Amino acid sequence: MLPPLAWAYGAGVMIAAMAKPKTKSKPPLPKPTARNVRKTSPPAKPISLYFWPTPNGKKIAIMLEETGLPYVLQPVNIGRGEQFKPEFLAISPNNRMPAIVDPEGPGGKPISVFESGAILQYLGRKSGRFYPVADRARVAVEEWLYWQVGGLGPMAGQVHHFRNYVTEPQPYATQRYINEVNRLYGVMDRRLGSRDYLAGSYSIADMAAFPWAVGAESKGQNIDDFPNVKAWIERVGRRSAVIRGMHVGAELRSATYSLRDDEEAKKILFGQRSR
């Protein structure tokens, strides 16, 4: 979406072209340049990104970096229970990050959005990028976006849990989720055999899947079994916005941090029930 004044300027040019001036003396309208557009547009108010550096958080950081929408990071330390603060629950009632607050939402009024898939779709509509409008293309993006939020993410999360955080080994559960992730990598590999990106062109579906697809070994997989996924990881991972997005918030945790050794965080994160 263009900033309002840039749009108004573009529309003016269109009308002038259609009206065909009668005299030749009218000076031509100046061409819009990034410079004169920026001077007349009020600066966009930044989106607040409620964030902790995990794969789900990184999806949104990537999209914000890709679109260039201004944003500020609002850290939510999920290992210290900040996701249960009433002010956070007011925007994310599922006590999960990521969430966003856009001060310039629909009708120019603030809006909050939780669930990474819904956030990516919102930002896609707002920016007019990486989320095509044409129905056939949009359906393809949504299929692979929902495939990630309902499949790859949760199943990979269970693998991490059963491999890293159980007090007693649970071979059946561990193998069940490793198998399911293996199946999902296979689905992705076949899909990427005939196209460069999940929905054809690079989209929010790739941004959602990327942080969950990297690190196959940590999910009990051998990436060499999935050459198309491997090539896609390299392709997507080369994008500068993806590199930046994957590093957002790195300063929030020490480079050697391991949830495995963080007893307080494990108590907060695991075994949650309705309260």
Ligand X SMILES: N[C@@H](CCC(=O)N[C@@H](CS)C(=O)NCC(=O)O)C(=O)O
- Minimum gap (Å) between residue 99 Cβ and ligand X: 8
The answer to whether 187 touches 210, Cβ cutoff 8 Å, is no
Q: Which stretch binds ligand X (CB under 6 A): 39-47, 63-71, 91-99, 249-257?
A: 91-99
| 123 touches ligand X by CB under 6 A | no
Q: Under a CB-based contact definition with an 8 Å cutoff, are residues 81 and 52 in contact?
A: no
Q: Tell me if 177 sits within 8 A of 158, measured CB to CB.
A: yes
Does 83 help bind ligand X (rule: CB under 6 A)? yes
Q: Which is nearer to ligand X, 115 or 189 (CB)?
A: 115
116 binds ligand X per the rule CB under 6 A: yes
Structure tokens at 87: 């002010």
Instruction: Write the Ramachandran bin of 201: left for phi over 0, alpha for psi from -120 to 50, otherwise beta.
Output: beta
Beta bridge partners of 71: 47
121 lies in the site for ligand X, by CB under 6 A: no
Cβ closer to ligand X: 9 or 92?
92
Neighbours of 245 (CB within 10 A): 23
Q: Tell me the one-letter amino acid at 201.
A: S
Binding mask 130-149 for ligand X (x = CB under 6 A): -------------------x
Out of 62, 97, 192, 213, the residue judged to bind ligand X by CB under 6 A: 97
Among 7-15, 37-45, 96-104, 122-130, the segment contacting ligand X (CB under 6 A): 96-104
Q: Classify strands 71-75 and 47-51 as parallel, antiparallel or unpaired.
A: parallel
Stretch that binds ligand X, among 15-23, 95-103, 136-144, 182-190 (CB under 6 A): 95-103
| Helices within 41-115 (DSSP H only) | 55-67, 86-89
Of the two residues 98 and 124, which places its CB atom closer to ligand X in the complex? 98
- Any idea what DSSP says for residue 93? T
Cα distances from 178 to residues 181, 219, 224, 271, in angstroms, run 5, 7, 16, 21
112 binds ligand X (CB under 6 A): no
269 binds ligand X (CB under 6 A): yes
Residue 115 is a binding residue for ligand X (CB under 6 A)? yes
Q: How far is the CB of 275 from ligand X (least distance, A)?
A: 12
* Residue 54 Cβ vs ligand X, minimum distance, rounded to whole Å: 4
Q: What is the token pair recorded at 260?
A: 């495995």
78 sits near ligand X (criterion: CB under 6 A): yes
Q: Which of 36, 54, 74, 112 is the binder for ligand X (CB under 6 A)?
A: 54
User: What are the CA-CA distances from residue 14 to residues 10, 18, 250 (Å)?
Assistant: 6, 6, 46
* Strand partners of residue 199: 201
Q: How far from each other are the two terminal CA atoms of the chain, in whole angstroms?
A: 42
Task: Locate 5 and state its tokens.
Answer: 């004044």
Complex with ligand X: residue 36 or 112, whichever CB lies closer: 112
Q: What does the per-residue mask of binding to ligand X show for 177-216, with x meaning CB under 6 A?
A: ----------------------------------------
Q: Which residues bind ligand X (CB under 6 A)?
A: 54, 56, 78, 83, 95-98, 115-116, 149, 269
